[in-house]
Amino acid sequence: METNRRTVLAAAAAAGITAASLGGTAHATGGRTPVKSLFGKLADGTKVYRWSLANGGTKLKVLSYGGIVQSLEVPDRHGKYRNISLGFDNIEDYVASSPYFGALIGRFGNRIAKGRFSLDGTAHQLSVNDGENTLHGGAKGFDKRIWDVEPFTKGSDVGLHLHYTSIDGEQGFPGTLKVKVTYTLTRHGDWRIDYAATTDKATVVNLTSHVYWNLAGEGSGSIYDHELKIPAARYTPVDSGLIPTGELARVAGTPFDFRRTKTVGEDIRVANQQLLYGKGIDHNWALDKGITAKPEHAATLRDPSSGRTLKIATTEPGLQFYSGNFLDGTLVGTGGHIYRQGDALCLETQHFPDSPNQPSFPSTTLRPGQAYRTSTVHTFGA
């Protein structure tokens, strides 16, 4: 059923058809140096750059602000390109009102209850920005920071190294954290993210990426028809503030069972307390594979209308699936359309929410001398 784009492009090459004639540009399959252009300026005059890169049929645009994926284009089953990630066409909207569109998330992705945790007997109070809780690293997380971006080409890969140093005490987190995130486009058009960090004091770290996917194209309407599979027998139920109760509940017999492929919309209106809390799906799945040394399967998403597919593999133990519940029609996206509830979904590979306060969850503590390393790979097809 699913044709890998590699096969399509190989067949096209044999037939003398170029990637450009399939709807891409000549370098979409070539792998060349990323191109830098000015995207805009922050209020204080700081310049924000946009890096454009392409390889294996995937085209990616990344901002130095927040490491944001501003656009990600892949072809559909007819070779027609669309941007499949939500975003804005200007920096002002990103600064004023972005719900983390395409951003790098840190120092701690997802929620920490009451913005508090203790490490080695010392209590820490973080910046609180989601009711009484801390979400995605606090009021000014990594999504709102300027990253140093360094382009590279290596063999057939093309990519960007993004560097950010988070100082001791930033948003309340202990320790200076040096972060390096590498975005790679492979010759097959896969988008790989490698996260690395070191610290000079014990701290907590949970880095992720917050792309809002709509495989039919951003601004094209609801994702409730997208088909999704998540290989996880358990998830972490939450309270009304979306903080995990600590239980690893079975998905069997609940709307959270995506072990067999079903549409996002199939059970989203089931009367279920957890769905009420999240205003839809906004939960963390405990992936059956757990923490792995190499990226392993975490989710498969397919849009039947375009035929586009996205497979996610990760080294991380968790996946936050958020069904775009808080998009409320007030934001105008890249293509000029408003974004309404359910117009995109996020699949955030991560450690579990509130891990610093949940001794039974896999640890998110990073100590001096240790290397934080996680990887997530996105594979596109049609």
Question: Closest approach of Cβ 210 to ligand BGC, in Å?
Answer: 6
CA 132 to the chain's CA centroid: 24
Label residue 268 exposed, middle or buried (CB < 10 Å: 0-12, 13-18, 19+). middle
Cα first-last separation, the chain: 9
Nearer to ligand BGC, 99 or 141 (CB): 99
136 is catalytic: no
Are the beta carbons of 109 and 348 closer than 8 angstroms? Answer: yes
How many alpha carbons fall within 13 Å on the CB side of residue 140?
10
Q: Site for ligand BGC (CB under 6 A): which residue of 242, 281, 298, 310?
A: 242
Question: Closest approach of Cβ 187 to ligand BGC, in Å?
Answer: 31
User: CA dist 287 to 231, 256, 263, 298, 375, Å?
Assistant: 6, 13, 19, 7, 15
Q: Does residue 107 have a cis peptide bond before it, meaning omega lies within 30 degrees of 0?
A: yes
**Using the rule CB under 6 A, is 328 a contact of ligand BGC?**
no
**Using the rule CB under 6 A, is 347 a contact of ligand BGC?**
no
Nearer to ligand BGC, 203 or 323 (CB): 323
From the list 78, 58, 86, the residue with the least C-alpha distance to 220 is 86
Question: Closest approach of Cβ 132 to ligand BGC, in Å?
Answer: 14
CA distance 209 to 67: 9
**Using the rule CB under 6 A, is 282 a contact of ligand BGC?**
yes
Enumerate residues 78-117 that contact ligand BGC by CB under 6 A: 99-100
Are the beta carbons of 104 and 143 closer than 8 angstroms? Answer: yes
Site map (CB under 6 A) of ligand BGC, residues 179-218, x = contact: ----------------------------------------
Q: Site for ligand BGC (CB under 6 A): which residue of 48, 179, 346, 377?
A: 346
CA distance 64 to 40: 10
Nearer to ligand BGC, 152 or 326 (CB): 326
**Using the rule CB under 6 A, is 374 a contact of ligand BGC?**
no
Task: Number of residues interacting with ligand BGC: please give it, by CB under 6 A.
Answer: 9
Catalytic residue among 27, 73, 170, 210: 210
348 is catalytic: yes
**If you search the block for the tokens 């190989």, which residue do you land on?**
10
**Using the rule CB under 6 A, is 322 a contact of ligand BGC?**
yes
Pinpoint the alpha helices (H) of the chain: 5-14, 91-97, 273-278
CA distance 159 to 95: 25
From the list 40, 198, 9, 204, the residue with the least C-alpha distance to 113 is 204
Are the beta carbons of 209 and 284 closer than 8 angstroms? Answer: no
**Using the rule CB under 6 A, is 321 a contact of ligand BGC?**
no
Instruction: Find the part of the chain contacting ligand BGC (CB under 6 A) among 9-17, 48-56, 221-229, 320-328.
Output: 320-328
**Using the rule CB under 6 A, is 320 a contact of ligand BGC?**
yes
Nearer to ligand BGC, 204 or 238 (CB): 238
Nearer to ligand BGC, 153 or 341 (CB): 341
Q: Which amino acid is at 205?
A: V
Instruction: Find the part of the chain contacting ligand BGC (CB under 6 A) among 11-19, 24-32, 35-43, 318-326.
Output: 318-326
Question: Closest approach of Cβ 233 to ligand BGC, in Å?
Answer: 21
Active site residues: 210, 348
Residues binding ligand BGC (CB under 6 A): 99-100, 242, 282, 320, 322, 326, 346, 348
